[in-house]
């Protein structure tokens, strides 16, 4: 198994991202699982941490499978496979609105004392604990590109090769530690992979 837990994966990612050390990168973590990882990486690189609020659009009969995703601005990515998974355009729109409610609630909970940190002109490193379909990361990177970062980096511990190729076109640099072909779910590559709760995210961001 490649990783003991998210912390170990984060330290390994920080080492792989050492080219950005001392350049004060903005590390944007996708909640919830990646936020503790983002803190480790931001501290190791001498950067700044914030959350990037993106939500997957789950398939109608399989909530773990993403048919697309939506970012904080409302920009939506819908996969070519959405219809095959049973998602109609009406379903995708309803799910988008439902996820935007969660995004707004989380922003109010997570960063009540400051708005999102402006990525314009910054080296921006987007961190997640792994990619499956890549839908969430695609929305994240697309939304950030509109805000004109100096460089946009995707950093994840694990992703299947075909997903990584899909995501690569949206980033200037992609750092991924493991690209297994026998991919079923992100959690299979961690020995310890507990759910991260909202309270833990708030605590990390306070620090």
CATH code: domain of residue 99: 3.30.1310.20
Same-domain status, 164 and 145: yes
Same-domain status, 44 and 75: no
Same-domain status, 127 and 154: yes
Same-domain status, 127 and 188: yes
Nearest C-alpha neighbor of 16 from the set 28, 8, 4: 8
Phi then psi dihedrals of residue 50, to 5 deg: -150, 170
Tokens 């049973």 correspond to 86
At residue 1, the pLDDT reads: 67
Residues (pLDDT < 70) of the chain are: 1
User: In angstroms, rounded to a whole number, what is the distance separating the alpha carbons of residues 11 and 1?
Assistant: 16
In-domain check, residue 33: yes
The string of pLDDT tens digits covering residues 5-29 is 999 999 999 999 999 999 999 999 9
In-domain check, residue 129: yes
Instruction: Using DSSP, state whether 160 is helix, strand or coil.
Output: coil
In-domain check, residue 1: no
User: For residue 59, what are the β-bridge partners?
Assistant: 62
- Domain total of the chain: 2
In-domain check, residue 60: yes
In-domain check, residue 46: yes
At residue 63, the pLDDT reads: 85
Please give the residue range of the domain that contains residue 184: 6-53+118-206
Instruction: Using DSSP, state whether 54 is helix, strand or coil.
Output: strand
CATH code: domain of residue 176: 3.40.50.2020
At residue 19, the pLDDT reads: 97
With b for 16 or more beta-carbon neighbours within 10 A and e for fewer, the 50-72 pattern comes to bbbbbbbbbbeeeeebbbbbbbb
At residue 135, the pLDDT reads: 85
Same-domain status, 65 and 85: yes
Same-domain status, 83 and 11: no
Same-domain status, 81 and 144: no
Same-domain status, 105 and 130: no
């Amino acid at each position: 198994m490649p990783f003991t837990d998210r912390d170990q994966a984060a330290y390994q990612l920080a080492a792989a991202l050492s080219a950005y050390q001392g350049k004060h990168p903005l590390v944007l973590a996708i909640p919830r699982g990646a936020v503790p990882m983002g803190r480790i990486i931001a501290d190791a690189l001498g950067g700044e941490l914030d959350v990037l609020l993106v939500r997957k659009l789950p398939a109608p009969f399989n909530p773990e499978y993403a048919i697309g995703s939506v970012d904080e601005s409302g920009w939506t990515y819908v996969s070519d496979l959405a219809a095959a998974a049973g998602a109609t355009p009406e379903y995708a729109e309803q799910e988008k609105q439902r996820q935007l409610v969660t995004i707004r609630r989380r922003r109010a909970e997570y960063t009540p004392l400051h708005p999102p940190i402006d990525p314009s002109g910054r080296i921006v490193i987007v961190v997640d604990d792994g990619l499956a379909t890549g839908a969430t990361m695609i929305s994240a990177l697309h939304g950030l590109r509109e805000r004109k970062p100096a460089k946009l980096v995707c950093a994840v511990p694990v992703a299947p090769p075909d997903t990584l190729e899909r995501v690569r076109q949206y980033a200037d640099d992609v750092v991924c530690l493991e690209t297994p072909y026998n991919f079923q779910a992100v959690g299979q590559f961690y020995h310890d992979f507990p759910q991260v709760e909202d309270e833990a995210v708030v605590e990390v961001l306070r620090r």
